[in-house]
A = this chain, B = another copy of it.
Amino acid sequence: MTPEATLAKFREHMVGPARFMNLLSCFELGVIDALRERPGLDAVELGRVVGAKPDAVEQLLHLPVKEGFVAYDPATGGYSLDALADLPQADLDRVLIFMDLVKVTMLRQLYYLTESVKAGTVVGLKEFYGYEGNLFGAVAEHKDLRESWATAMDAGTARVDPWFFDNVEIPAGARVLDLAGNTGLGAINTYRHKTSPGLHVTTFDLPEKEQEALENFRANGVAEHCSFIGGDVFREVPTGFDVVLIRHFLTLWDRSEVLKILHNVNKSLDVGGQVSVLVPVYQDDVREHDSRSVDFYPAFFLGCAMGQGGPQKLSTWSGWLEECGFEVTEVVVENPTDIPADALPLQAVVSARKTA
């Protein structure tokens, strides 16, 4: 790469925060909605509609015009939606949910990325919220974080869950443990997607989740097929299961913690028992074109969510399973062409069998 090309790449990185927030602000201000309703408004009229000076509206619209999202007519000074007019509303909604997540859980917190990496905790949460712990604890206490986070997670799992159940095999009548299954939604979904005679799904999580999980089972009419066990995955995983599912969880931890979890899962299973993990993956060669997760997840997990963790390469996840006494039996990775172009993680289902 020539020094010029390297410098141009630096420039692309340098303008990242400004570009992000400029674009989002056009939506937050209501400029895009105003143009959808009344194409052709000029900066003065837009300023009146959204409650901002025309000068500022004009400044903020340069970027979407440059990107082809919005069209500008120099003859009239009027703006109208360009590419944004052709974008299905559901796609736009998904994008805006994710952009809000970036703004609320990342933008400020990333200022302390280096400190977070050194401390192994999310320093940004402490600095901006006085909260000591990870994002998942902080969302319980802070409404702004919770609303942004919960909405994004719902949208994310709505896409990933059906794909997961399409690509994981669960033997008929199996006794399934949904590890770190929170308040039971994973167990309910597992039962629904994989129903078979005798199938029973148990949520395993911290004891304080039990009450809400049991209520969820009842409310969803699966109380007969789902149950709850309280405990701590870092201490011991309950025995008596054929299949352990670990979804949206391993990626929160560094290697040593992942190995502890997988080791405890291994101990809990009989030889031949199955573990299936749902994890986001980096391409084994991150220089490949579709390594889109690399742009986002290291900074997110280290600086905003956990102070540790992150996706791994498929070879790493497989290697860790093998290190803990499993033989990998099946790997399915999302096809980049099957997920929306704005989506970041490539998910994988890695299934393995206990060999020793």
Question: Among the listed stretches A4-12, A153-161, A166-174, A226-234, which one makes contact with chain B, having 4 or more residues with CB under 8 Å of it?
Answer: A4-12
* Contact call B282/A91, Cβ cutoff below 8 A: no
Residue A197 is within 8 A (CB to CB) of chain B in the complex: no
* Contact call B29/A20, Cβ cutoff below 8 A: no
A251 to chain B, nearest CB (A): 11
Q: Which of A17, A106, A254, A343 has the most CB of B within 10 A?
A: A17
Check A59/B341 contact, CB under 8 A, given A29-B117, A51-B118, A107-B17.
no
Chain B residues within an 8 Å CB radius of A69: 6, 9
* Contact call B17/A15, Cβ cutoff below 8 A: no
Residue A223 is within 8 A (CB to CB) of chain B in the complex: no
Residue A3 is within 8 A (CB to CB) of chain B in the complex: yes
CA distance A237 to B124 in the complex (A): 47
CA distance A86 to B9 in the complex (A): 14
Residue A95 is within 8 A (CB to CB) of chain B in the complex: yes
Check A59/B21 contact, CB under 8 A, given A14-B102, A342-B10.
no
* Contact call B20/A310, Cβ cutoff below 8 A: no
Chain B residues within an 8 Å CB radius of A15: 16, 292, 295-296, 344
Chain B residues within an 8 Å CB radius of A342: 7-8, 10-11, 14
Residue A260 is within 8 A (CB to CB) of chain B in the complex: no
* Contact call A25/B114, Cβ cutoff below 8 A: yes
Check A21/B299 contact, CB under 8 A, given A7-B342, A91-B7, A108-B107.
yes
Residues of A within 8 Å of B, CB-based: how many?
88
Residue A222 is within 8 A (CB to CB) of chain B in the complex: no
Chain B residues within an 8 Å CB radius of A19: 13, 16, 295-296, 299
Residue A110 is within 8 A (CB to CB) of chain B in the complex: yes
Check A308/B56 contact, CB under 8 A, given A18-B110, A21-B303, A282-B62.
yes
A155 to chain B, nearest CB (A): 13
* Contact call A302/B118, Cβ cutoff below 8 A: no
Chain B residues within an 8 Å CB radius of A145: none
Chain B residues within an 8 Å CB radius of A296: 14-15, 18-19
* Contact call B7/A53, Cβ cutoff below 8 A: no
Check A59/B108 contact, CB under 8 A, given A3-B91, A29-B118.
no
Contact with B along A99-113 (1 / 0, CB 8 A): 100110011101101
CA distance A15 to B15 in the complex (A): 11
10 nearest A-B pairs in the assembled complex, by CB-CB distance: A16-B16, A59-B298, A7-B341, A18-B299, A16-B20, A15-B295, A55-B254, A7-B342, A1-B83, A21-B110
